[in-house]
Amino acid sequence: MHFTHLGRTGLRVSRLCLGTMNFGPQTDEPTSFDIMDKAHEVGINFFDSANAYGRRGGTEQIIGRWFAQGGDRRERTVLATKLFIGMGDWPNEGGLSALNIKKACDASLKRLQTDYIDLYQMHHVDRATGWDEIWEAMEVLRSQGKILYVGSSNFAGWHIAKAQAAAAERHFMGLVSEQSIYNLLVRDVEREVLPAAKDYGLGVIPWSPLQGGLLGGVVRKEREGIRRYEGRAAQSIETHRPQLERYEDLCAEIGHEPSTVALAWLLTRPAVTGPIIGPRTIDQLEGALTAVDITLDEKVLDELDQLFPGHKTAPEDYAW
């Protein structure tokens, strides 16, 4: 496994981040434990979760029970989790108010069976709460030793800029990472989010690197009868079928699985720390590992850009 620093921090994390959203809803607890053990075995030290995963905290509880087994599991893990989504129907059980930041953090710590979170991420921007309130609450958590770093998720470039300006006024470190949807099919963050992250020293953690499986060889699986797609998945395949067919042919030419190429491409992108992989099985985890050792040459990168056109940095993207 290869490692890099998370943005401008001194924190070293693996270039693949283990996403845990499937733990509970789609992957049972014993298999989840096996996947986390295997992740450590192959050198993945960066785990991502959220308080809303697994039906309001279920995923964090699974991780907490895994930590409780000991064996330096917690010590060897750079633990990231998120808050924002409402955890109940009562007022103040969601968002980024000082009250919810305090309560949500304490609840996550209890479920995770740990006394600190390495990277505490805001799952969404809160348009109703000012940055002075948010940063003061985060400063309190950091002074208490409950969190070490703060990250964002699904922020626009200007949200990052505003957050960092407010943090600078308070002489606070501010954001160190941004978690955004980013893959060959969805490249909107290239306009402003990636440039903002690079300029402010944030590590970018792409989620949905395979765009819901579309970049995982769906045409071949459909053709070979391995999987049958219906509903929205089938519609998405039909919408992108010409691109996906050419993409899978290109992957076959260079001798790599489509899912692996999609991950390897993300690892070439500016400011990207590492994509989030969300394996439901050990086999899926093992299949993703080769991405860190693949080198895509300029010819292949150019062909991928032609297949899946990206964006220039703003304002050139839409002005010149």
Spatial CB neighbours of 132, under 8 Å, sequence gap ≥ 6: 166, 170
Q: Residue 158 is encoded by which pair of tokens? A: 């200007």
Q: What is the pLDDT of residues 131-167, one digit of tens each?
A: 999 999 999 999 999 999 999 999 999 999 999 999 9
32 HSE (CA, 13 A, CB side): 24
Q: Which two tokens stand for residue 52?
A: 């809303």
The yes-or-no answer on residue 53 being catalytic is: yes
Q: Are the CB atoms for 205 and 178 separated by under 8 Å?
A: yes
- Given a cut of 70, the residues of the chain with pLDDT beneath it are 230
What's the confidence (pLDDT) of residue 234?
A: 78
Non-local (6+) Cβ contacts of 139 within 8 A are: 170, 172
- Give me the catalytic one of 53, 120, 200, 247: 53
Q: What integer pLDDT is reported at residue 29 of this predicted model?
A: 97
Give pLDDT, residue 230: 66
Query: What's at 149, amino acid-wise?
Result: Y
Give the domain 3-212+258-295 fold: TIM Barrel (3.20.20)
Q: How far apart are CA 302 and CA 253, in angstroms?
A: 15
Residue 302, burial from CB neighbour count under 10 angstroms (0-12, 13-18, 19+):
exposed
The ranges assigned to domains in the chain are: 3-212+258-295
Amino acid at 8: R
| Residue with tokens 């959203």, as numbered in its chain | 21
* DSSP code per residue over the chain: --EEESTTSS-EEESSEEE-TTBTTTB-HHHHHHHHHHHHHTT--EEE--TTHHHHHHHHHHHHHHHTT-TTTTTT-EEEEEE-S-SSSSTTSSSS-HHHHHHHHHHHHHHHT-S-EEEEEESS--TTS-HHHHHHHHHHHHHTTSEEEEEEES--HHHHHHHHHHHHHTT---EEEEEEE-SSS--GGGTTHHHHHHHHTPEEEEE-TTTTTTTTTHHHHHHTTS----HHHHHHHHHHHHHHHHHHHHHHHHT--HHHHHHHHHTTSTTB--PEE--SSHHHHHHHHGGGG----HHHHHHHHHHS---PSTTHHHH-
How much is the pLDDT for 205? 98
Strand pairing class (203-207; 46-48) = unpaired
Q: Are 101 and 141 in contact (CB under 8 A)?
A: yes
